[in-house]
Structure 1
Amino acid sequence: MSTSPLGNLVRIVPLELSDLPPHPSIPQQSQAASTTTPSDSRLLTFLLAILDEASTFISPSTFSTRFTSLSTKSSPPSTAPVELYKREISASDVSSIQWSENPRVPRKPPAKVEDENWFARRSVHKNESSKTSEGTASWSEFVFGLKEQHSKHEQDFTPTLYDAHYVVDWNEEIRNLPKQGGTSEEWIEGENGVRYTDITMEIFEMCHSLPGPLSPRCFPVLVLTAFTSPTAFLAVTAPVNLLSPGPLEAAYYSTGRNTTDPSASEQQKKKPVLGVYAAVETVRLLSDGDGEDEEGGKEVKDGDGRNIQWTMATASDAKGNLPMFLQKPNLPSEVAKDVGFFMRWIKGVDVEKERQGEKDV
């Protein structure tokens, strides 16, 4: 039985719209809550709560003590071996989480409590450009591909992901939050002492095709990204129910609007099964020596001889006619494949040209 505290936000129990910070597109949120606490205060509290929870869940100390090694696989064209791990969180541990009693973001306890089966991967890559060194990527390429436009880029390199449908974001509200630090660097600081910068928070519906007669799966998710130091960043994904307490107008697949949209492709018009997906991902530029994080100060350069550690942990349930006992055996291999998918994609991307194109839009 796990003895480390578990948070109530990054779980396979979907967030409700009423759990989220205020947003003009979410009129169903509790008016009482929004009037008793300023909206920017609720946003700041939520950001720090979920980022602290995720960064602690996948921190080196937690990962080394809570995740059990499974195997090592290759993921071509990546040249780095991919180490696979698991962490099983029992239903009793999930039940003991502070749900409604959580002092930061209280949530209604789930009606049904189930085990969580987390699978993780870790790989270490040379900090070298994919254009000059086969099977690896530079720091700036990792930042572009996994920190910037995280969900859209995931669609670009994942073969089964046919749509990353944008729903809503809080990015302007986050930019307007009061922050700490000087003009050159502004941050918000968590209870764990981590200073988060360049934060984004968005909702997407991530839709995957499945083989044979199986219906596609769409995963409505809240996605956050943030730098946790000059040499590390974090991506957090939590499932969200876009239909409760009332349907979110901007939702597409969750509400069935896709099935009657004349502009949708044949694939997009298919009625999906809504699944749940949670993930925590971190990419860190390691120091020259013992492999620990470089604590700021040192200039970040591509090709500086250091290595990049890429870690990801995920728990999911595809729902429908796919019981978990059929899903579990395939999940570790599927998790490992993403490394190769990313390396193949980033090799064909001109990062500077893409960034310039995004600025011109």
Structure 2
Amino acid sequence: MPFIRLDPHPFKDLPPVDSQPDTKTLNSLIHSILRDEAEPLLKNLQTGLQKDSKLRPSPPSTAQVKLSQGWHQQEFWVCRQSDHQDSAIDGTGSWGEFENGLRHDHAEHEMEYTPSVTKVKQLLNWNQDPSWDPEMRIEVSDTRYQDFMVELHTFHPQALIRPRAFISWTVSAAMGKIVEDKLEPRGFITIQVPFRLSSPAEEPGYEQLSTEIRQSVPPRTIFAHYASIELVELLPPSESSDRVIRWTMATTSEAGGKIPQWVQRNWTLGGVPKAVVADVGLFIGWIMKQRERRETQLQE
């Protein structure tokens, strides 16, 4: 069974979370996800889904968004791609701003620029464990992945009829291309995998984690789920343009409860396709506000 899938995983599929985690198991799992799933899946989605006939605006971003959607192995996926000028000016962002906003503190920043996310709670952080190898590297074809971040979060969106929560295991890695045994940085990838909340009796050994999650969500919460792959690449300059930041994201989701699938997938009713396009503008708007705040602080 694939790890990147809509059907949420039980906690027993997590990397070890006891007092002496098995780093080799974690490394092996990350390697498998990157080598066998993430990039091949993203390529299949980009070529296999039905593409919209027109580009979509997402202000204040000046970049137009390519949108595609459709079925892949019995899951409905939505994929978007946008090209942004690498510059710290209105309507776009610099490479450093993209990296800071989308890679570092990914979940916390997502809450800051996405109005529907009202709370993020970090549950587990493997990066802080003494046995974690900060120098770990994984090579797939001519691409090297390094500087990994591995965390488990719950996301609490605003209530629809009943409040929702998502349990998401996040893996992020910097990417570089190996050229003559040297690493040329080219971007980063972030993968989010859904997990489900089971009863303590179903998953012995995870009672503390289950209790912590239940105590952090409002009463009558519906646990929804999603999987996503986010790829941010720094493209070299060409004769006709400066450096470009290409932001690609693909997701499959289930809101749960009594919301019909056709509503969740409907653009006019504000479903997932419209939401993922809007996220581009929300992020660029957040970058611009962060930049203004820094400039104001420097002037004071």
**TM-score, normalized by the shorter chain, greater than 0.5:** yes
1:172 counterpart = 2:119: no
Q: CA deviation at 1:55?
A: 2.4
Question: 1: CA distance between counterparts of 2:188 and 2:256?
Answer: 31
Q: 2:259 aligns with which of 322, 332, 348?
A: 322
Contact (CA 8 Å) 1:225, 1:236: kept in 2 or not? yes
Residue of structure 2 in register with 1:108 after alignment: none
2:246 counterpart of 1:309: yes
1:67 aligns with 2:49: yes
Change (3 A) 1:352 1:200: farther
CA distance in 2, matches of 1:74, 1:217: 28
8 Å contact kept, 1:205–1:253: no
- Alignment size in residue pairs: 276
Inter-partner Cα distance in structure 1 for 2:13 and 2:248: 28
The one of 154, 159, 167 equivalent to 1:205 is: 154
Inter-partner Cα distance in structure 2 for 1:245 and 1:270: 22
Question: What is aligned with 1:274?
Answer: 223
- CA 1:8–1:343 in structure 2 vs 1: closer, same or farther (change >3 Å)? same
Which residue of the partner structure matches residue 221 of structure 1?
A: 168
SS in structure 2 opposite 1:199? strand
The equivalences for 1:129-144 within 5 A come to 129=88, 133-144=89-100
Provide the aligned C-alpha RMSD in A.
2.6
Flag the 1:12–1:64 CA change in 2: closer, same or farther, 3 A: closer
Q: Distance in 2 between matches of 1:325 and 1:77?
A: 29
Q: How is 1:38-53 mapped onto 2 (pairs within 5 angstroms)?
A: 39-52=22-35, 53=37
Counterpart in 2 of 1:241? 196
Q: Specify the SS of the correspondent of 1:305.
A: coil
Shift of 1:191: 4.5
Report SS of the residue matched to 2:290: coil
**Structure 1 position 350, deviation (Å):** 4.9
Q: Which amino acid aligns with 2:255?
A: A
* Residue of structure 1 in register with 2:38 after alignment: 54
- Per the alignment, residue 348 of structure 1 pairs with 289
Q: 1:289 aligns with which of 222, 232, 238?
A: 238
Number of the residue aligned with 1:95: none
1:122 offset after TM fit, Å? 0.4
User: Offset at 1:232?
Assistant: 0.9
Write the distance in 1 (CA, Å) between the matches of 2:105 and 2:208: 23
Structure 2 counterpart of 1:356 = none
Q: CA deviation at 1:148?
A: 0.3
Q: C-alpha distance in 1, partners of 2:99/2:292? A: 10
Greater strand share, structure number:
2
Letter aligned with residue 229 of structure 2: V
Change beyond 3 A, Cα 1:253–1:324: farther
The one-letter code matched in structure 2 to 1:74 is P
- Counterpart for residue 298 of structure 2: none
- 2:86·2:243 contact (CA, 8 Å) conserved in 1? yes
Match runs of 1:78-157 below 5 Å: 78-90=61-73, 115-129=74-88, 133-157=89-113
2:229 and 2:250 in contact (8 A); partners too: yes
Shift in Å, 1:145: 0.2
Q: Which amino acid aligns with 2:86?
A: N
Offset at residue 44 of structure 1 (A): 0.9
Segments of structure 2 that go 5 or more residues without pairing to the other structure are 177-184, 295-300
Deviations 1:24-81 (A, max 9, x none): 27xxxxxxxx9xxx9222111111112332122224xx35422321242111100111
User: Distance between the aligned counterparts of 2:131 and 2:67, measured in 1?
Assistant: 37
C-alpha separation between the residues in 2 aligned to 1:175 and 1:142?
Answer: 30
> For 1:348, what is the secondary structure of its paired residue?
helix
User: CA shift at 1:197, angstroms?
Assistant: 1.0
Distance 1:205 1:198 in 2: 23
Instruction: Give the alignment partner of residue 15 of structure 1, picking from 9, 15, 26.
Output: 9
Name the CA distance, whole Å, in 1 between partners of 2:208 and 2:239: 50
Q: Any conservation in 2 of the 1:144–1:351 contact (CA below 8 Å)?
A: no
Contact 1:187 1:195 in 2 (8 A): no
- What stretches of structure 1 of length at least 5 have no aligned partner? 1-6, 26-33, 91-114, 180-185, 259-267, 292-303, 354-361
- The 8 Å contact of residues 46 and 79 in structure 2, kept in 1 or not, is answered as no
- With over 3 angstroms needed to count, the CA separation of the structure-2 counterparts of 1:146 and 1:157, relative to structure 1, is same
Instruction: Tell me the distance in 1 between the aligned counterparts of 2:278 and 2:28.
Output: 35
Paired amino acid for 2:285: R
What is the identity percentage for the equivalent residue pairs of Structure 1 and Structure 2?
Answer: 29
Q: Which amino acid aligns with 1:68?
A: Q
